[in-house]
């Protein structure tokens, strides 16, 4: 079995998230999503609309997602790859090169983002303040 992992906050779920999850799952047989905890989002100066448990429930309902685990810090990625027997690490191409250190542990794939959509853009379009951050 070829196992894949990706990371994110997955707040205000949109078609870009679904495209990434679908394409990540296509890289293997089993998709693990490491979901940023509320505490980790605070460290990143990022505020999610939905709390962790709600975002986890939403992700678990998506047919491409096989398992959701918490992300507590930037440093846990190597341990996650090792502990979950991961073969492929997937992120959006806005992160290209940032996780190349994982190539010692698994394949690293950066997928193109869906043009014209992001959680940040949705929040800006809705006039939500204090919501700046990566998706």
Residue bearing tokens 């196992």: 3
Question: Three-state secondary structure along 100-116?
Answer: HHHHHCCEEEEECCCCC
Residue 79 among the catalytic residues: no
Count of residues making up the chain: 135
Give the separation between CA 67 and CA 128, rounded to whole angstroms: 31
Please say whether the beta carbons of 41 and 56 come within 8 A. Answer: no
Residue 63 among the catalytic residues: no
How far, in whole angstroms, is CA 66 from its chain's centroid? 14
Q: Pinpoint the alpha helices (H) of 26-100.
A: 38-43, 52-60, 77-83
Catalytic residue among 3, 25, 46, 56: 46
Catalytic residue among 44, 98, 103, 121: 44
Active site residues: 44, 46
């Amino acid at each position: 079995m070829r196992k894949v992992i990706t990371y994110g906050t997955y707040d205000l779920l949109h078609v870009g998230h679904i495209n990434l999850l679908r394409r990540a799952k296509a890289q293997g047989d089993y998709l693990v999503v490491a979901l940023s905890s509320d505490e980790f989002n605070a460290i990143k100066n990022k505020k999610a609309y939905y709390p962790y448990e709600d975002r986890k429930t939403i992700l678990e309902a998506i047919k491409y997602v096989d398992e959701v685990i918490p992300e507590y810090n930037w440093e846990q990625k190597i341990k996650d790859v090792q502990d979950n027997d991961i073969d492929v690490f997937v992120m959006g191409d806005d992160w290209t090169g940032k996780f190349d250190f994982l190539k010692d542990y698994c394949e690293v794939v950066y997928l193109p983002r869906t043009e014209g959509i992001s959680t940040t853009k949705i929040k800006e379009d809705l006039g939500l303040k204090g919501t700046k951050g990566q998706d």
